[in-house]
Amino acid sequence: MSIGPSEHPNRAPGKVFADGMVAALRSVFFYVLLGNYVGIGALAYEFGFSLGWMVLSTLLVWAAPAQVILISTLGTATLVEVALAVTLSSVRFLPMVAALVPMLRHEGGRQRDLLLPMHLTAISVWVEGMRLLPARPREQRVAFYNGLGVGLIMAAIIGSAIGFYLAARLPPLFAATLLFFTPLALLMSSARNSRTLLDGLAFGLGLVVGPIVAAQKIGLDLMWTGLIAGTIAYVVHRVREAKAKVTP
Amino acid sequence: MTFGMEPYLALILLGFLPSEIWRWLGIVLGRGLDEQSEIILWVRGVATALIAAVVARIVLIPPGALASVPLSVRLAAICGGFLAFLLIRRSAFAGVLAGEAVLIAGILAFGG
Amino acid sequence: MTATMADIGPVLALILVGFLPNEVWRLLGLVLVRGLDEKSQAIIWVRAVATAMLAGVLAQLVLASSGALATIPLGVRIGAAGLGFVAFLIARRSVFVGVVTGEAAVMLGAYAFTP
């Protein structure tokens, strides 16, 4: 296998970073993120946040479900409730980063070089990284992943600015359509990622339990919904596993 | 900016947080692998249910321009989108497109 | 426990309940794979961030005081905090001495400088 110039081990780090950004531009996720964040930007506008805050949230949080939770609940819920909901929504970052690190490690690599890739990790960045990193020499992977992450985060920022701007200027019909994009996108992506009964059941129960719990006006309704519906789905999953073991 | 007692809460949390993380980490690591995968499964269920609750919240307590759209139209749009997703090879793109189409049709037909 | 975003502003809220709970999981993923030496780098960074935020909240408490504190002139508040800190340093880093000195300074200052 011949090595092309872009995979040459001595390629300058700046060029490798640029390679990553080019990969981001060519990725389908660039446009998915762009579209997703148009909806989220519109949401931020309608809930009264500034564009600066929206961009800051993308830079600091970089997780669509967490950002949607922040936007839709910060105005009304207490900080503790929001913190709990955000904490629960972001657990998947743990295994993602844990799976990423072995791919980035190389001889002479500094530990703090892993911090930026860690922060840039989101589902799209991670999926593309897992796909593209094996082809690159180890010494280049951190720079490449950083370029990839920065490129994709830029898609989100551009999308959110467009959504914010549009929501402010479009007539109500289009603004409503824009706002509705976020719940639709969250539903479809959760449905597509649900491979097991546990996932599907948890989501379905969450849809039903959510409004019921919210109507009780007890506060922390997002957290309770997650705990109640998620635990029921988990218990059902365990019961089925136990039955499968007993009846061969 | 005005303050009440709340910044003191922030102070306690911020001083408290860094050390607690490592204590819990030790507990989790000490429990062994089997417990960890079960815990991960449960947490995944909780996180998924949470996202569902957020979706329900936006549909049922809509902000801004969505608030003037009738509830039945919003519900029909979500269901229509999901149906299209199931029917068209589990395509998220088709689901979103169909959901938006139903919403637009509903707004034009029933006002909003 | 009933603090909302209205109490601390959207940016501080974003950092406290958006960035922190979210980033914790990424950090844990890194630590679990021994990507970081958890006894040094991560703890040092987290403590640095937490300390910096603490300092920010402290500064706002002194500078943008509400309620009874607001009737005390700004210069007195800053001066009292400074005096308290100096006393803390002089008394071999005694928290007690620092707090007592700061309190005494702010009370004296309030008495002396209130119109």
ipTM attached to this prediction: 0.78
Q: For chains B and C, what is the number of CB pairs under 8 angstroms?
A: 60
- Whether A196 shows a pLDDT value over 50: the answer reads yes
Q: What is the mean pLDDT of chain B?
A: 76
Residue C93 is given by DSSP the state S
pLDDT for the residue C31: 79
Number of domains in chain A: 2
pLDDT tops 80 at residue A247: no
**Alpha-carbon distance C103 to A202, whole Å?**
55
Q: Looking at residue A222, what is its pLDDT? A: 82
Which position has the higher pLDDT, C85 or B32?
A: C85
- Count other C-beta atoms under 10 Å from residue A140's C-beta: 24
B36 touches B28 (CB < 8 A)? yes
Which pLDDT score is estimated for B4?
47
A75 phi and psi angles, rounded to 5 deg: -70, -30
- Whole-number pLDDT of residue C35: 56
* Cross-chain Cβ contact A98/C22 below 8 Å: no
* Chains A & B: contacts with CB separation below 8 Å: 204
Mean pLDDT in residue range A180-187:
90
pLDDT at residue number A1: 47
Cross-chain Cβ contact B11/C57 below 8 Å:
yes
Domain of A231, in residue numbers? 194-248
Percentage of chain A surpassing pLDDT 70?
A: 95
Q: So what's the pLDDT on residue A34?
A: 93
Single-letter amino acid, residue B110: F
Tell me whether residue A159 is exposed, middle or buried, using C-beta atoms within 10 angstroms of its C-beta: 0 to 12, 13 to 18, 19 or more.
buried
CB contact under 8 A, A206 and B47: no
Do residue A85 and residue A110 come from a single domain?
yes
Q: A244 with A173, same domain?
A: no
pLDDT for position A166: 92
Both C81 and C44 in one domain: the answer is: no
Residues of chain B contacting residue C54, judged by C-beta atoms under 8 Å apart:
11, 14-15
Distance CA B105, CA A140 (A): 51
Does A152 score more than 60 pLDDT? yes
Same domain, C83 and C59: no
C4: phi > 0 → left, psi -120 to 50 → alpha, else beta; which?
A: beta
Residue A110 burial class via C-beta count within 10 angstroms: exposed 0-12, middle 13-18, buried 19 and up? exposed
Residue B25 scores a pLDDT above 70? no
pLDDT of residue C113: 79
- Among chain B residues, the shortest Cα distance to A44 is held by B63
Of the two residues C70 and A205, the one the predictor is more confident about is: A205
Q: What DSSP character marks residue B88?
A: T
Model confidence at C69, pLDDT cuts 50, 70, 90, reads confident
Q: Is residue A102 part of a domain?
A: yes
pLDDT value of residue B1: 35
Residue bearing the bigger pLDDT, A163 or A193 = A163
Q: Are residues C101 and C69 in the same domain?
A: yes
| Statement to judge: residues A49 and A81 lie in one domain | yes
Residues A169 and A216 grouped into a single domain: no
Residues C4 and C41 reside in one and the same domain: yes
Binary contact (C61, B3; C-beta < 8 A)? yes
Q: Let me know whether C52 and C75 are in one domain.
A: no
**Residue B39 touches partner A, C-beta closer than 8 Å:** no
Q: Convert the pLDDT of each residue in C1-59 to its tens digit.
A: 567 888 788 998 999 899 999 998 898 888 777 755 556 666 677 667 767 766 776 77
> Which of A175, A193, A211 corresponds to the end of one domain?
A193
pLDDT band at A21 (very low <50, low <70, confident <90, very high): very high
Q: Please check whether residue C104 is in contact with residue C62, taking contact to mean a CB–CB distance below 8 angstroms.
A: no
Instruction: List, in order, residues 6 or more apart from C11 with CB less than 8 Å away.
Output: A53, A56
In a domain, A6, yes or no: no
Highest mean pLDDT among A155-169, A188-202, C62-76, C101-115: A155-169
Which of A193, A211, A231 marks a domain boundary? A193
Instruction: Judge if pTM exceeds 0.80.
Output: no
CB < 8 Å to B25, chain C: 28, 31-32, 38
Domains in chain C, number: 2
Residue-averaged pLDDT of chain C: 80
Q: Which domain holds residue C13?
A: 1-64
